[in-house]
Chain A
Amino acid sequence: MSQEHSQSIESANTHHADDAHDHKPQGFSRWFYTTNHKDIGTLYLLFALLMLFTGGSMAMVIRAELFQPGLQFVDPHFFNQMTTVHGLVMVFGAIMPTFVGLANWMVPMMIGAPDMALPRMNNWSFWLLPCAFTILLSTLFMEGGAPAAGWTFYAPLSTTYSNDSTAFFVFAVHLMGISSIMGAMNIIVTIFNLRAPGMTWMKLPLFVWTWIITAFLLIAVMPVLAGVVTMVLTDKYFGTSFFNAAGGGDPVMFQHIFWFFGHPEVYIMILPAFGIISSIVPAFARKPLFGYESMVIATASIAFLSFIVWAHHMFTTGMPVAAELFFMYTTMLIAVPTGVKVFNWVATMWRGAMTFETPMMFAIAFIVLFTIGGLSGLMLAITPADFQYQDTYFVVAHFHYVLVTGALFGIIAGVYFWIPKWTGVMYSERLGQCHFWCSLISVNMLFFPMHFVGLAGMPRRIPDYALQFADMNAFISIGGFLFGLSQLLFVWVVFRCIRRKGEKATAQVWEGAEGLEWQVPSPAPYHTFQTPPEIKSGH
């Protein structure tokens, strides 16, 4: 067995002296000027939590409107703004910043680095985000309202048929893009240059590995997103015709460029979650991760394949058969490395001495429910079948299984797993379990029936629907409200820890946890690994 990535350091805690360096300013200027990776990680996480609830409240508006057929609460234009901004906020404001926040907190500790490599850039990349989202959300209060073309902002909806919120939207996306690119560069430089001596590539914890690969994906595709929004901007305001057939352009080309970004983007939103799950499962199964090398290879091949499957979002645009087949087979190919990961997690649990604390519960739910999302993805990948499923609630069900019960559950699992390290106190296990079961039941009430209404033909992004879908939608909406309420429990748990209410956590926190981050005290001191730890090779 080759579990070299589990390593120990000679002197677990040599950093009492560091407390002397803790002359940090307090209050606003501490947070505004901070270059400390832990502070910035905290900022990212809190900002993302705020965005989760912002996007979540928009989802509540959507589900309230869809509770009954007919138009009750909002007019269709506002409904479209809700679906659009909900998607944008969740993708760029909640999921992605949480992952960057987790990387900020954990990557330096996991590789034995004193901080991120470029601390001042780190500060910038965080503070761009509140600016970007203030701009984006402010459009909701402008005349004509926020962007309403969907989070995918297809031309000509976003060009010919949009209002002036487009300009704000484009600028906001530029800022988010710059923020993500700077964050990704920082993470890459940190991992390449600041690993503690002896921390070789194949000893890196998987969370670090998945983040390197994610960071490269970000650097490769966020600029393409910046390009495509720029084209939308110039088409709308400066008379270019990238996507305008009248001027010799082509609206279908928008979709090609957007999805060339868009599909790698969905993997940006899941790979770090794979890393989190790969840290949690071994800790609670008390067994080293099964197939470490194959996990790394699988992650890299998923990232590579994600560049050549984009047109599976465009099966109904009239592509020639050869292209449809190419994109169908490459898409299905992604299921292979994804399957490798799922099997490895299951094999890690096999005959392990498992316990089922909240992080493990969320991790197991992740494995099962993400797999459901992967299977509906395979159904969507079948070209002829996709002609039926495209633009229905079946697609909505698919991507919420991979994003909510996938990415978000992975994040929640990670927060429960690491929060004792961040705050120094254990979260309330009773509340955590309660949060888990409430979330698990409600999330399935919310998203599982969407498969059925989707197969029956209910279109997505429409505020009204045919009468036969009424009962299902009422049920879905109830699931939605319950899921929303359940997340208040999560906030409660988190804030109890922040207020230091709870049992004091040990340095190792979890009996089965291994890695450098568990060898610094809890809460992790403001500065860790000022002198690099020594890394003993694994068993």
Chain B
Amino acid sequence: MENQRNSHQPLLRKLLMISIAMFFFGFALVPLYDVFCRMTGLNGKTANTAAAPSTRIDTSRRIKVEFIANRDDSIPWNFAAEVSTIELNPGAIKVVNFHVKNLSAQAMIGRAVPSVSPGAAARYFKKIECFCFAEQPLDAHGEKNMPVQFYIDPQLPAEYSTITLSYRLYKSQGQTVNR
């Protein structure tokens, strides 16, 4: 029996390796998922770093861009876009402001998470500057305008005429600033 047990060791070790590898594979799915979404633009994910400015303007067509702002229950702020839609030529750079007001008597930090619909258009939505790149602190009852500067990549396929940019505002985790 004893040496029989030893003869099981190599196979057992392999099986153990597989299961450990699969445990880490589960965690590896997290970055893989992100990379996959960003590469394919699935899920409406936009880049979370600044894009280079546009180099040409396509005057032959106009794209309608809609803005949606909503907030999570966790954060007692007003959050709204100054305009709900604009029209622009692909390549033209625009700035749109979002207004936030802290309704509570506490300073806190907000974080806006963007999403673009239709998802496949996300990678043509280029943000040069965005309040979503950083956390946004506000004093108690404070308010401010937060700009997003963007353009639509002229390579946007012809079938897209309307793009929606939506932000959801969250309270940044456990980082309430105490006065």
Determine whether A224 belongs to the interface, using a CB cutoff of 8 Å to chain B: yes
Partner of B15, one of A189, A231, A257: A189
- Complex interface bits, B155-177 against A, C-beta within 8 A gives 1, otherwise 0: 00000000000001011111000
Residues of chain A with a CB closer than 8 A to B119's CB: 318, 320
A245 adjacent to B8 (CB under 8 Å): no
Take A219-B18, A253-B30, A257-B29 as given contacts and tell me if A192 and B23 are in contact as well, using a CB distance cutoff of 8 Å.
no
Q: Collect the chain A residues with CB atoms within 8 Å of residue B7's CB.
A: 193
Contact bitstring A521-534, B, C-beta under 8 A = 1, else 0: 00000000000000
A9-17, A145-153, A236-244, A329-337: which one contacts chain B? A236-244
A interface with B by C-beta (< 8 Å): 117-118, 181, 184-185, 188-189, 192-193, 219-228, 231, 239, 241-242, 244-248, 250, 252-253, 256-257, 260-261, 318-320, 323
**Min CB distance, B139 to chain A, in Å?**
20
Does A246 lie within 8 Å of B172, measured CB to CB?
yes
Is B33 touching A253 in the complex (CB atoms < 8 A)? yes
**Shortest beta-carbon distance, A366 to chain B, in Å?**
31
The B interface is mostly helix, strand or loop, or mixed, namely helix
Decide if B60 is an interface residue (CB 8 Å cutoff).
Answer: no
Minimum Cβ distance to chain A for residue B16 (Å): 7
Is residue B58 within 8 Å, beta carbon to beta carbon, of the partner chain? Answer: no
Q: In the complex, what distance in Å separates the CA atom of A458 from the CA atom of B22?
A: 38
Asked if residues B29 and A256 are in contact (CB atoms below 8 Å), the reply is yes
Instruction: Give me 5 other A-B pairs in contact (C-beta within 8 A), A219-B22, A239-B173, A250-B43 excluded.
Output: A118-B5, A185-B19, A223-B26, A246-B113, A250-B33
Main secondary structure of the interface of A (DSSP, over half): helix
Query: How long is the Cα–Cα vector from A241 to B34 in the complex, in angstroms?
Result: 13
In the complex, A256 Cα to B170 Cα: how many Å? 23
B22, B24, B111, B120 pick with most chain A CB within 10 angstroms: B22
Q: Of A226, A252, A320, which contacts B26 at CB under 8 A?
A: A226
> Are B22 and A223 in touch, CB under 8 angstroms?
yes
B104 at the interface (CB under 8 A from A): no
Does B25 contact A224, Cβ atoms closer than 8 Å?
A: yes
| Residues on A with beta carbons closer than 8 Å to the beta carbon of B16 | 185
Asked whether, in the complex, the Cβ of A246 is within 8 Å of the Cβ of B173, the reply is yes
Q: Could you name 23 residue pairs across A and B whose Cβ atoms are closer than 8 Å?
A: A117-B5, A118-B12, A185-B15, A189-B8, A189-B12, A193-B11, A219-B19, A220-B18, A220-B19, A222-B22, A223-B25, A224-B22, A224-B26, A224-B29, A227-B23, A227-B24, A242-B30, A245-B170, A253-B30, A253-B33, A257-B26, A320-B120, A323-B42
**Residues on the A chain within 8 Å of B42, using CB:** 319-320, 323
Q: Residue B74 contacts which of A226, A227, A246 (CB distance < 8 angstroms)? A: A246
Given A256-B29, A260-B29, decide whether A189 and B173 contact each other with a Cβ distance below 8 A.
no
User: Is residue B52 contacting chain A, with contact meaning CB distance below 8 A?
Assistant: no
Q: Report chain B residues within 8 Å CB of A225.
A: 26
CB distance from B138 to the nearest CB of A (A): 16
Take A185-B12, A188-B11, A227-B26 as given contacts and tell me if A252 and B43 are in contact as well, using a CB distance cutoff of 8 Å.
yes
By a CB distance below 8 angstroms, the chain B residues around A181 are 19
A313 to chain B, nearest CB (A): 16
Alpha-carbon gap, A224 to B174, bound state (A): 29
Q: Which residue of A223, A241, A247, A257 contacts B20 across the interface (Cβ within 8 Å)?
A: A223
A247 contacts across to B, CB distance below 8 A: 111, 173
> CA–CA, A193 to B18, complex, Å?
18
User: How far apart are A113's CB and chain B's nearest CB, in angstroms?
Assistant: 11
- What residue in chain B is nearest A260 (Cβ atoms)? B29
Instruction: Identify which of residues 1-47 in chain B touch chain A, using a CB-to-CB cut-off of 8 Å.
Output: 4-5, 7-8, 11-12, 15-16, 18-27, 29-30, 33, 42-43
- The minimal Cβ–Cβ distance linking A528 to chain B, given in whole angstroms, is 16
Question: Inside 8 A of B29's CB, which chain A residues have their CB?
Answer: 224, 253, 256-257, 260
Cα(A242)–Cα(B173), bound, Å: 13
> When A and B form their complex, which 7 residue pairs have the shortest distance between CB atoms, in order from nearest?
A227-B26, A246-B170, A223-B23, A223-B22, A224-B26, A185-B15, A223-B19
